[in-house]
Amino acid sequence: MTLARPLIVALVALLLALPAVAAPVVLRDQTGRTLTLPAPPRRIVSLVPSVTEILYAIGAPDLLAGVTDFCDYPPDARKKPSVGGMINPSLETIVALKPDLVVATTAGNRDETFAQLRRLGLPVYAVNPVRLADVVDLIGRLGALTGREAEAARLTASLTARIDAVKARVASRPRPRVLYVVWPDPLIVPARRALVSELLVLAGADSVTANGGEEYPRYSLEAAIAGAPEVIILASHSTSQSQLGREKWERFTALPAVRSGRVHTVSGDVLHRYGPRIVDGLEELARLVHPEAR
């Protein structure tokens, strides 16, 4: 009996000294697909600029092992190892980075890339926000994925409050006809089920292209002019392209938007990426559509 207690104490000490075994992590991505990781991810390769932006915003940049050439916000993201473009990322580079998880998007990465990554045995978490609520949902998911739940909750609460404030400011105001140009040539616009179309509605606008197709279709110049937009908003992708785009539309002097000097330029990076800055974009749209409601 006298030896039993020292033996038990020794066994307990031995067990406490053993490394903890992490429980498997079961995830369901935004496409509904389930994947199981042996432990929470510590090395993430992001093939999605907005995901990279979100991970920085919730305080998890240390988990980013690699990003794409398009992951340029915040500027510090450019210092991360690059795996190349979104369409043709370097599989060799991705494998060399030894990620626990690759985050990709069904909206910007090829199906072939998904298949190749899975053949290589790399777990892939797919994201696919199509509504503003999905953006908020994605922030929460990435917070849970990285152990930054509290930071993600604070960010989503702040974004939600700002969205509600925009809706309140424009709720009782007339809704001007707005033409939003995603790309000038060929002319590409937001239509049904496009996130930008939802942002225009929330900003108090009536999009003249809302019923012009699905998501982001090509659109005829004649149809755009026939909509008689009272405000024209051009997404900028470079300084020179922005200036050329303005000159193109300002030639149509009969358009209400041109007559009243309401041809504006906004940042495509802010409004076309589904990161936290999309609410900055919503607020800017609301100011342009309803300058009187600031």
Q: Does the pLDDT value for residue 244 go beyond 60? A: no
Predicted local distance difference test score (pLDDT) of residue 217: 93
Task: Encode pLDDT of 150-205 as tens digits.
Answer: 999 999 999 999 999 999 999 999 999 999 999 998 999 999 989 999 999 999 99
CA pseudo-torsion sign 85, 89, 93, 94: positive
Q: What is the CATH number of domain 21-153?
A: 3.40.50.1980
Predicted local distance difference test score (pLDDT) of residue 1: 45
Q: Does the pLDDT value for residue 35 go beyond 50? A: yes
Topology alike, domains 21-153 and 173-293:
yes
Angle among Cα 254, 255, 257 to the nearest 5 degrees reads 135
Domain ranges (residues) in the chain: 21-153, 173-293
Dihedrals phi, psi of 177, to nearest 5 degrees: -75, 125
| Contact assessment for residue 227 and residue 179, using Cβ atoms and an 8 Å cutoff | yes
Q: What tokens appear for 282 in the block?
A: 């919503």
CA 56 to CA 63: how far, in whole Å?
Answer: 10
Residue-wise over 12-44: b if at least 16 C-beta within 10 A, else e?
A: eeeeeeeeeeeeebebebbeeeeeebeebbeeb
CA 74 to CA 53: how far, in whole Å?
Answer: 7
Percentage of the chain beyond pLDDT 70 is: 90
Average pLDDT of every residue of the chain? 90
Predicted local distance difference test score (pLDDT) of residue 256: 97
Class of domain 173-293: alpha beta
